[in-house]
Amino acid sequence: MTITAIYPGTFDPITNGHSDIVKRATKLFKHVIVAVAANSSKKPIFSVENRVEFAEIVLADIKNVSICSFDGLLVNFALESNAQVILRGLRAVSDFEYEFQLAGMNRTLNPKIETLFLTPATQYSYISSSLVREIAILGGQVDDFVHPYVKKAIENTLIRKRN
């Protein structure tokens, strides 16, 4: 195991699906960097500091993982971080088109960095950060989808937003 992989995303917030991908990756790579995108086009509800903090808490028990934020081009950040692999998760065919395009673009920008995909365990394959947020906003339970710390943070944020 000599390869460092970078797992980029918005992580707004980190879900059990993201964690499942990280756990699988840490068994395959020397080191995994979870890279939280500061300037995501998705307009996150949590600040980048919060999103990093959640990931740090959720992944605290895993040794060969580190969490950081980044802005700018992912391939540049991967290079600075000595990562040779970009890791992405594939849940369903619907993810494929966007991920395929992204991988192609990143390869054009830096042909030395490979994109690899991992799939989560079936029970996580329908989880997305946006669905989790939507369920919480509508008063549903998100216990099965996120870490208890994240659940609390979602509830607090939503209560603050409502008042």
Q: Which two tokens stand for residue 65?
A: 């993982």
Task: Examine residue 18 and tell whether it contacts ligand ADP (CB under 6 A).
Answer: yes
Q: For residues 116 and 59, what is the distance between their CA atoms, to the nearest angstrom?
A: 21
What b/e string do you get for 64-83 counting C-beta neighbours within 10 Å, with b at 16 or more?
ebebebbeeebbebbeebeb
Query: Catalytic site residue 42?
Result: yes
Site for ligand ADP in 28-57 (CB under 6 A): 40, 42
Which one, of 158, 151, 114, 160, lies nearest residue 14 by Cα? 151
* Annotation marks residue 161 as catalytic: no
Residue 36's alpha-carbon distances to 13, 62, 86, 159, in angstroms, are: 10, 17, 13, 25
19 lines the binding site for ligand ADP (CB under 6 A): no
Exactly one of 34, 127, 132, 142 binds ligand ADP (CB under 6 A); that residue is 127
The single residue among 124, 133, 147, 153 that binds ligand ADP, judged by CB under 6 A, is 124
Stretch that binds ligand ADP, among 53-61, 88-96, 106-114, 132-140 (CB under 6 A): 88-96
Q: Which residues bind ligand ADP (CB under 6 A)?
A: 9-11, 15, 17-18, 21, 40, 42, 88-89, 91, 95, 120, 124, 127-129
